[in-house]
Homo-oligomer: A and B are copies of this chain.
Amino acid sequence: MTTRWLTPEEQRAWRAYVAASLLLEDAIDRQLQQDAGMPHLYYSILSVLSESPERRLRMTDLAERLKITRSRLTYAVTRLEKDGLLRREACRYDKRGSIAALTDEGFAVLERAAPGHVDTVRSFLFDRLSEEQVGQLEEISAAIAQGLQEDGTRPAADDVPWRRRSSPTCS
Contact = CB atoms under 8 A, between A and B. Distances in A.
Nearest to A22: B67
Interface in A1-58: 3-6, 9-10, 12-14, 16-27, 44
A10 to B, nearest CB: 5
A143 B122 contact: no
A27 B146 CA distance: 13
Interface string A144-158: 111111010000000
Q: How many copies of the polypeptide does the oligomer hold?
A: 2
A139 interface: yes
B16 A145 contact: yes
A3 B141 CA distance: 26
Q: Name A's interface SS.
A: helix
B129 A16 contact: no
Contact of A134 (B9, B20, B122, B142): B9
A120 B149 CA distance: 14
A134 B140 CA distance: 9
A144 B125 contact: yes
Contact of A138 (B16, B22, B144): B16
